């Protein structure tokens, strides 16, 4: 299987991409890069090419020198991501072409970095997943750290090839401690063929009779995976301020997923 090819010139079609991850620690001068947009998703059909642009803005002087490549990745239970330079079984990276592997960007002016994905005409319905990794060519340094650091930014790409979709179902609930605070959790199983995310708000009433609004976390749930999704409690109409929950709490409503899927929720949570 070949590595990602170099992209030829051409206009970009409208595409979707999903998920941006920043790795490493705060660094001095050598790695100051903004990536836009931060999240997309792609959709295409077997035999059809899809193209997109990532805007890269170097925010420091002098000119920034970067290396770019594709990688496979896996999503861990703790919501961290492991990248792999080697092709994993079933990798779709041979379908991917990137514009170039090394890039110099002057400060202030965005660089439009192009990539494209071309599934073969006989590709079965599948969700292709890979990452575009951007790394500084020179190691970055951070205050108080005696060794150089390998800073990088990874843009995670999902490509829905053909008729694939998530199928999410509720299989349990619990209360877990998140950031030192008891938090209601939904256990969600994905029996579909593409990743899915929950969206929407639920209504809740806590032990003191206080009305709350709860929002499900947007962590992706991979095909074949069961994952705990946290519910963040807010005052109704104020989604910016998270409030502490006084248990037990009763929650009801409906969460959306995919193009037309919905998940009715009627749960009581107690630590």
Q: What is the DSSP code string of 44-72? A: E-TT--EEEEEEEEE-SSS-EEEEEEEEE
Residues 60 and 114 in one domain: yes
Among 100, 126, 161, the domain-final residue is 161
137-160: pLDDT as tens digits: 866 555 554 444 457 899 999 999
Among 161, 187, 208, the domain-final residue is 161
CA distance 132 to 126: 19
40-63: pLDDT as tens digits: 899 999 999 999 999 999 988 788
98-147: pLDDT as tens digits: 999 999 999 878 999 999 999 999 999 999 999 999 998 866 555 554 44
Residues 136 and 180 in one domain: no
Residues 68 and 97 in one domain: yes
- We report the CATH number of the domain holding residue 78 as 2.60.40.10
Residues 154 and 177 in one domain: no
Cα atoms in the Cβ-side hemisphere of radius 13 Å centred on 129: 20
Residues 185 and 147 in one domain: no
Residues 142 and 187 in one domain: no
Question: For residue 143, what pLDDT is reported?
Answer: 56
Q: Token match 């963040």: residue? A: 232
More confident residue, 142 or 185: 185
- We report the CATH number of the domain holding residue 214 as 2.60.40
CA distance 68 to 154: 10
Asked if residues 5 and 116 have their Cβ atoms less than 8 Å apart, the reply is: no
**Residue 174, strand partner residues:** 185
Residues 172 and 94 in one domain: no
Question: For residue 122, what pLDDT is reported?
Answer: 98
Q: Which whole number is the average pLDDT over 24-41?
A: 63
DSSP result, the chain? -PPPEEPPP-PPPP-----EEEES---BSS--EEEESS---EEE-TT--EEEEEEEEE-SSS-EEEEEEEEEEEE-TTS-EEEESSPPTT--GGGEEES-SEEEE-BSSPEEEEEEE---TTPPSEEEEEEEEEEESS-BB-TT-SS-B--EEEEEEEEEESS----EEEEEEEEEEETTEEEEEEEEEE-SSS-B--BSEEEEE-TT--EEEEEE----B-TT-EEEEEEEEEETTEEEEE----SSEEEEEEEEETTTEEEEEEEEE--
Residues 212 and 111 in one domain: no
Question: For residue 150, what pLDDT is reported?
Answer: 58
Q: Domain of 22?
A: 5-161
CA distance 123 to 47: 8
Among 161, 192, 220, the domain-final residue is 161
Residues 68 and 196 in one domain: no
CA 13 to chain CA mean position, Å:
21
Question: What is the count of structural domains for the chain?
Answer: 2
More confident residue, 89 or 18: 89
Residues 97 and 177 in one domain: no
* pLDDT class of 38 with cuts at 50, 70, 90: confident
Asked if residues 149 and 142 have their Cβ atoms less than 8 Å apart, the reply is: yes
User: Under 8 Å CB-to-CB from 144, ≥6 apart: which residues?
Assistant: none
Q: Is 113 exposed, middle or buried (0-12, 13-18, 19+ CB in 10 A)?
A: buried
Residues 156 and 220 in one domain: no
Residues 143 and 204 in one domain: no
CA distances from 130 to 18, 111, 121, 191, 244 (A): 10, 21, 20, 21, 37
Question: For residue 271, what pLDDT is reported?
Answer: 86
């Amino acid at each position: 299987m070949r590595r990602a090819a170099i992209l030829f010139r051409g206009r970009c079609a409208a595409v979707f991409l999903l998920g941006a991850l920043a790795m490493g620690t705060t660094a001095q001068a050598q790695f100051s890069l903004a990536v836009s947009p931060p999240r997309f998703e792609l959709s295409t059909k077997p035999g059809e090419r899809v193209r997109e642009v990532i805007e890269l803005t170097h925010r420091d002087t002098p000119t920034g020198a970067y290396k770019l490549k594709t990688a496979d990745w896996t999503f861990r239970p703790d919501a961290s991501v492991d990248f792999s330079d080697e092709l994993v079984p079933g990798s779709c990276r041979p379908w991917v072409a990137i514009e170039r592997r090394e890039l110099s960007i002057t400060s202030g002016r965005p660089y439009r970095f192009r990539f494209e994905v071309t599934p073969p005409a006989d590709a079965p319905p599948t969700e292709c997943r890979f990452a575009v990794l951007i790394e500084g060519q020179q190691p970055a340094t951070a205050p108080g750290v005696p060794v150089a650091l390998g800073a990088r930014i990874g843009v995670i790409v999902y490509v829905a090839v053909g008729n694939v979709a998530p199928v999410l179902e509720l299989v349990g609930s619990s209360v877990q401690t998140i950031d030192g605070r008891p938090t209601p959790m939904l256990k969600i199983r994905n029996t579909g063929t593409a990743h899915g995310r929950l969206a929407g708000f639920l209504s809740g009433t806590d032990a003191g009779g206080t009305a709350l609004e709860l929002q499900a976390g947007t962590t992706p749930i991979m095909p074949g995976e069961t994952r705990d999704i946290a519910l963040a409690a807010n005052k109704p109409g104020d989604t910016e301020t998270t409030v502490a929950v006084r248990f037990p709490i009763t929650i009801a409503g409906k969460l959306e997923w995919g193009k037309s899927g919905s998940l009715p929720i009627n749960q009581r949570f107690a630590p």
